[in-house]
C-alpha cells in the first residue's frame, strides 16, 4: 500500500513539472512571435510607411508646382515639380529596397512607381508646353487626361497606405 502512495506523489509531481515546462514553452513561442512581428514592423513596415508618406506629400507638391507653372508660366515651378518627382521616385524605390516587405505591399508599390513614372513623363511634357504659352486642343485633352491620372495616383497612394496600416495592425495583433 505504501508503494502505491509514493507512485501517486511522483505522478502528481511529474504532472506539475510537465505543466510548468509546457507553460515555459508556450511563453517562449509567444516571445518569438512577438519578436518576429516587432522586427517586421521596425525593419520593413515602419520605414516603408514613412517613405510612402514622404512620397505622397512630394507628389502633392509636384502637382501644385505643375499647376503653378501653368497659371504663372514660371520655369522655376517646373523645376520644383521635377525635383518633387525625383523625390517621389526615390522614396518609392527605397520602399522596394527594404527586405521583409510583404509581397502585396511590394506589388502595389511597384505598380504605383510604374504609373507615377509614366504620369510624370507625360505631365512634364504637357505642362512645359502649356507654361510656355502653347495651347492646342491636343494639349488640353492631354491635360484633362492627366487630371484623371492624378486622381488615380492619389487613390493608389491612399490604398497603399491602407494596405500598410492593415498589415501593421495585423502584426501588432499577433503580438498579443
Closest CA to 167 of 88, 98, 114, 111: 98
Q: What is the pLDDT of residue 1?
A: 42
| Burial state string for 69-92 with b = 16 or more CB within 10 A and e = fewer than 16 | bbeeeeeebbebbbebbebbbebb
Q: Identify the CA nearest to 65 among candidates 78, 48, 47, 51.
A: 78
pLDDT digits over 75-99, tens only? 899 999 999 999 999 999 999 998 8
Q: How far is CA 81 from CA 29, 44, 70, 87, 123, in A?
A: 50, 29, 12, 10, 10
What is the reported pLDDT for 90? 97
Q: What is the pLDDT of residues 9-51, one digit of tens each?
A: 888 888 999 998 999 988 888 778 777 766 666 667 788 989 9
| Residue 6 pLDDT | 72
Mean pLDDT (the chain, rounded): 88
pLDDT over 70, % of the chain:
91
For the entire predicted model, the pTM comes to 0.78
Nearest to 85 by CA among 105, 48, 108, 115: 115
Amino acid at each position: 500500500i505504501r508503494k502505491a502512495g509514493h507512485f501517486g506523489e511522483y505522478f502528481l509531481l511529474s504532472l506539475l513539472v510537465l505543466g510548468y515546462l509546457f507553460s515555459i514553452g508556450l511563453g517562449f513561442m509567444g516571445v518569438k512571435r512577438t519578436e518576429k512581428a516587432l522586427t517586421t514592423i521596425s525593419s520593413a513596415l515602419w520605414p516603408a510607411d514613412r517613405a510612402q508618406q514622404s512620397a505622397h506629400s512630394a507628389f502633392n507638391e509636384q502637382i501644385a508646382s505643375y499647376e503653378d507653372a501653368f497659371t504663372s508660366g514660371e520655369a522655376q515651378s517646373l523645376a520644383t515639380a521635377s525635383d518633387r518627382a525625383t523625390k517621389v521616385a526615390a522614396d518609392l524605390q527605397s520602399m522596394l529596397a527594404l527586405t521583409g516587405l510583404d509581397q502585396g505591399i511590394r506589388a502595389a508599390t511597384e505598380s504605383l512607381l510604374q504609373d507615377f513614372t509614366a504620369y510624370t513623363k507625360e505631365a512634364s511634357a504637357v505642362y512645359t508646353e502649356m507654361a510656355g504659352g502653347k495651347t492646342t486642343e491636343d494639349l488640353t485633352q492631354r491635360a484633362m487626361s492627366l487630371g484623371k491620372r492624378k486622381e488615380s495616383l492619389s487613390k493608389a497612394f491612399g490604398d497603399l497606405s491602407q494596405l500598410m496600416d492593415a498589415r501593421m495592425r495585423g502584426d501588432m495583433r499577433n503580438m498579443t
